[in-house]
Structure 1
Amino acid sequence: MAFAWLGSSIPRNSGWTEPAHGVEIMIETNGIHTAIVMPLVNAQKDWRADFPSSDLPTSDRPYTHLSVSWGEREVFLNTPTWADLSLPTAINAAVGGDGLLHVAHYVRPAPSDTARVLRIRPEEYARLVRRIEAQILPSDRRRVYAGYEDWDVFYDAPGTYHLGNTCNQWTSDALAAAGIETGLWTPFPGGVMKWVPAPAP
């Protein structure tokens, strides 16, 4: 825990500042896992071809945003709640498990302390998009797996999950690749969220 705190406190892209105008994304957490929330469509990217709403049980809602994250396959698919996490599954994830993308579709998500708004420059968002696109397999090479609700799904994705490459590290690596200030090693969600300003009370 001490090493994680220290590692997450070492900045990447030190000196980055949030612009007055730009693309608004959100960094969200459920207390264990983090994800990046982005506009479904804007001038830089239309995500509907990569993550079509037709993959969802409820495809007819007026979705405006999507949340993308990456994690370990067995943990994602077999632990709908953390009470379902077994010791063998946890050990397997820690030493090396297959990657999976989790994509949730939202309608006008509201900011909160667990879903913090981050404004970034269009060119930074374009780099963030390219980073995430590199994790998307062609439709003929990936399976679609049912999510936890009727508005989220999982997709096969490249990468190996382990203690040095966790779901939260994936989030901070994506932000760093875009040029945004974040921590160096962020195995836990707090190491990601502390770099994103909390909303004003």
Structure 2
Amino acid sequence: MKTILIVLVFILSGCSVTTPTVTDYRIDPDVTISNKSTNSQKRSIKVMPIFVNTSLATNNMRYRIGEYKEYAFTQSAWSESPNRAIANKLVNILEASNLFHGVYGYKSSKKGDLVLEFSLNEFIQSFNELQNSSSVTLNISYNLIERKTRKLIASKIITKTMQTDSLDAQGGVKALNSILAQTLEETVDWLGENSQ
């Protein structure tokens, strides 16, 4: 009888343990794009899958302390992995920009006249060693290629940093969305200049 009672207490105490909830954050930059052309160009573009390191291909939200230490937030996560969210947002923005006759995501069977390859090299919140200061960094690189000839038309690297308003995941998300919006606006301008 004592054994059954001990097992019952153990089971009930295990059930009463609560795990903290995880907050999912969206990558949803507020991008302002005016129509760059009143008439769509004759060329179309295909946005290839984004190249990222493994940590940016999951929903884990990572942060850095000092130069070398990197961790994952335990109570915060991305609602969609950065590589997918940013690639989808770029396709949507290019469609809205009216720069191209057609804009195709990597899943499309259409090939496009131009191909946009890009790599997300860094997208992270960083704290100093004392953890009393926080900033975010975004680094992205592009190659614009003519599909038929495989000729490189232009390449660009964009790096941006910004201090966060608060020393938590929410402050990091807000700053990352802000510099991503700036980056995507700059990307559209660059494509407009180089896709004629």
Q: Structure 2 length normalisation: TM-score?
A: 0.26
Q: Which has the higher strand share?
A: 2
